[in-house]
Amino acid sequence: MRQFGVLSVVAAEPGLNQRAVGNKLRIDRTTIVALVDKLEGTGLMERRRGPDRRTSALHLTEQGIARLLEAQEVLAEVHQEFLGPLSAEEREALRNLLVRLVVRQSGL
């Protein structure tokens, strides 16, 4: 799931550096470096020279984009199956409650 999160953030905002991606996902510096190393090693992501020479800009490769799309499809299927017993109104109520919990936990 963490790799999916990293891929998703970088797809949404190509060119972010590792620190920014880690901050968005609340992943510590050591862990984000390891995740990016693994994603780069498997050909899903690449580091490019950032605007500041000391940082790297993260970008998905074509393979990374394809893998992310596959994962998003699987996730949508799992959500549909899991939430299947709920009506549209119940799904919306659940979503609203979960958002409230996240906001409260994060202090936003």
Long-range pairs of 53-56 with CB within 8 A, sequence gap ≥ 24: 55/17, 55/18, 55/19, 56/17, 56/18
pLDDT at 105 over 90: no
> What is the pLDDT at residue 7?
97
What's the CA gap between 39 and 42, in Å, rounded? 5
Domain ranges (residues) in the chain: 2-106
Domain 2-106 has CATH 3.30.450.40: no
Rounded mean pLDDT of the chain? 92
pLDDT in tens, 36-59: 999 999 999 999 987 778 889 999
pLDDT in tens, 54-78: 889 999 999 999 999 999 999 999 9
